[in-house]
Amino acid sequence: MKHLILTASLLALSAGAAFADAHSAVVRMGTEGAYPPYNFINDNGEVAGFERDLGDEICARAQLTCEWVTNDWDSIIPNLTSGNYDTIIAGMSITAEREEIVDFTQAYFPPAESLFMGLSEDFTLEGAVVAAQTNTIQAGHIAASGATLIEFATPDETVAAVRNGEADAVFADGDYLLPIAAEDADLMIVGEPVQLGGGVGMALREGDERRAAFDAAITSMKEDGTLNALILEWFGPDAATF
């Protein structure tokens, strides 16, 4: 009898565990937390920004429990493939090069302009020293352009390099640079805007079945206009929408 009770309670326990497993599976959303307004750590120490609001809405629509994890940009793809988190939602442009390593959802942000920001108006790319963040499409563009590229691990350091004269200009997403240029009297947008990348999407490990759920959620947000509303809220009335 004792044996029977023990077996029964063990069964109940394992059933409970299996049940909990299916429902409490956590999807960990990996982001950089240093690229406002896409994603940043706010004054309360929480992940915030456009992608935080978007990601929470996508998870709610896909009925997933999501948690936010921050990781340095430099190692954000290797740490996804090795399973430290399950998605990258960090202003990452969809490129053919990245497609070989990870799977992207459809774009949730249209292809955006990349801009140069420097200390003086007379800027020519030829022969200039340009700061960009490591492993970004902007860094790749500068490396191919013939200008001297200096790379930094964080976006903030690329701007600091221009302020202290180490670089003639910083090259990054316009949405990141515009608020900085607007608030700092010394810094200004220089040169011509460049169109790079195929829009921003979420990255998942290759073959991850949750991609369909995320895609469906993004589609539904595009259809009912909530995605465009979010973009306008975070990127201003002039932002490109779907």
Partner 1 sequence: MLEFCTDPSTLDTIRWFSCYLTNGAHLLFYQSFLVVFALLAITAPLALAFGFAAAAASRSHLWPVAGVGKLYTAMVRGVPDIVFFLFFILVLDQAIEYLRHQVTCPDWTEEIRQGANFLVCSEARTPSSNAPQWVHELYGFALAVFTYAIVFGAFCGNVLYGAMRAVPRAQLETAEAYGMSRRQVFWRVLVPQMWVYALPGLGNIWMILIKATPLLFLLGIEDIVYWARELGGSRTSAYQYPHPDWRFWYFLGLLVFYLCFTRVSEIVLNRVTTRLSRGQATAAGEALRKAAA
Q: Answer yes or no whether residue 136 interacts with partner 1 by CB under 8 A.
A: no
Site for partner 1, residues 166 to 205, rule: CB under 8 A: 179-180, 183
With CB under 8 A as the contact rule, the residue among 6, 7, 11, 67 that binds partner 1 is: 67
146 — phi, psi (to 5°)? Answer: 100, -15
Segment lying near partner 1 (by CB under 8 A), choices 11-19, 130-138, 155-163, 189-197: 155-163
Q: Answer yes or no whether residue 165 interacts with partner 1 by CB under 8 A.
A: no
| Nearest CB to partner 1, comparing residues 43 and 126 | 43
Give yes or no for a contact between 187 and 134, defined as CB atoms under 8 angstroms apart.
no
With CB under 8 A as the contact rule, the residue among 156, 198, 222, 241 that binds partner 1 is: 156
Give yes or no for a contact between 94 and 106, defined as CB atoms under 8 angstroms apart.
no
With CB under 8 A as the contact rule, the residue among 28, 106, 113, 226 that binds partner 1 is: 28
Q: Answer yes or no whether residue 17 interacts with partner 1 by CB under 8 A.
A: no
To the nearest 10°, the Cα dihedral for 96, 33, 229, 95? 0
With CB under 8 A as the contact rule, the residue among 12, 17, 18, 26 that binds partner 1 is: 26
Beta bridge partners of 130: 149, 169
Q: Answer yes or no whether residue 63 interacts with partner 1 by CB under 8 A.
A: no
| Nearest CB to partner 1, comparing residues 102 and 125 | 102
Q: Which positions lie near partner 1, rule CB under 8 A? A: 21, 24-28, 33-34, 36-37, 40-46, 49, 67-69, 71-72, 75, 78, 81-84, 86, 154, 156, 159-160, 163, 179-180, 183
